[in-house]
Amino acid sequence: TADLASAKRATGREDRCAVVTEPFSEWVLCGDFPAGRPAWESAGAHFVSDVRPFADRKLFLLNGGHSVLAYAGSVLGHATVAEAMADPRCREWLEEWWDGVTPVLALPGNEVAGYRAALVARWSNPRMSHTLSLIARDGSQKLVQRVVPVIHRYREVGEPAPPGAGRVIGAWLAHLRGSGVEITDPRAGELVTLAAGERPEAARALLDALEPGLGADRSLAREVAATCRELEGPHG
């Protein structure tokens, strides 16, 4: 195959099991290793005292960003992450989400900025055919982990949810109303019914489905409904 031929040209070796990957790699570890360990840092491993900030960085920036692109991008007619990244509106909404997430990450600003830049480079690579239909699956489970915690962290300091949160949930609402890729979710029947009403009511119902009481946030619900309206257009 073309990939095996590329591997042979790059290494000078014939390897029938060669696997082509993206250029990016990251390995973040913490622990004392009292019995000793290999020198993993020689292969690029990053040892830290607390892995949780790095887990949040991945969950909110990478996974949350993927959700923005999966729902907004597929509703706008795109099939892959790279296609969505080339759409100015998807890119704007992604950056808006990232801007909202950045203040809640317990990492230096340059660390976050570097990670964001790496994600842009990775996701803009057209050879990485990462399909939006795969990322869009199981939104009721994923958004509870990727978006709702960010809303709570804003509330903890007396701030409203960042606009990017309403964007991604609003794009999910449009998805559940039949736009974009096929709906695959363990709660699909319930969610499609909730999403089918008038947008303001559907937005509140969907927020409550993510977390009871979340629909009482009027500002967030308005942002969700407005995003859905924008994606569906005047005739949606």
Contacts of 76 (CB under 8 A, 6+ apart): 84, 87, 89, 90, 231
Q: Which parts of 81-160 are beta strand (E)?
A: none
Sign of CA dihedral 182, 184, 189, 193: negative
Q: In 3D, which of 184, 93, 72 has the Cα closest to residue 134?
A: 184
| Three-class secondary structure of residue 131 per DSSP | strand
Structure token pair of residue 106: 């317990």
Q: In 3D, which of 162, 141, 154 has the Cα closest to residue 210?
A: 141
pTM score, whole prediction: 0.90
Residue 234: pLDDT band with limits 50, 70, 90: low
Lowest mean pLDDT among 8-22, 88-102, 119-133, 200-214: 8-22
% of the chain at pLDDT higher than 90: 84
The pLDDT, as a whole number, for residue 235 is 45
The pLDDT, as a whole number, for residue 20 is 78
- Pairwise CA distance, residues 230 & 236, whole Å: 9
Show the domains of the chain with their CATH numbers: 2-47 (no CATH), 52-232 (1.10.1040.10)
Alpha carbons within 13 A on the beta-carbon side of 24: 14
| Three-class secondary structure of residue 225 per DSSP | helix
Residue 236 has pLDDT above 70, yes or no: no
- Pairwise CA distance, residues 52 & 30, whole Å: 10
Looking at every residue in the chain, the average pLDDT score rounds to: 95
- Rg, Å, the chain Cα set: 20
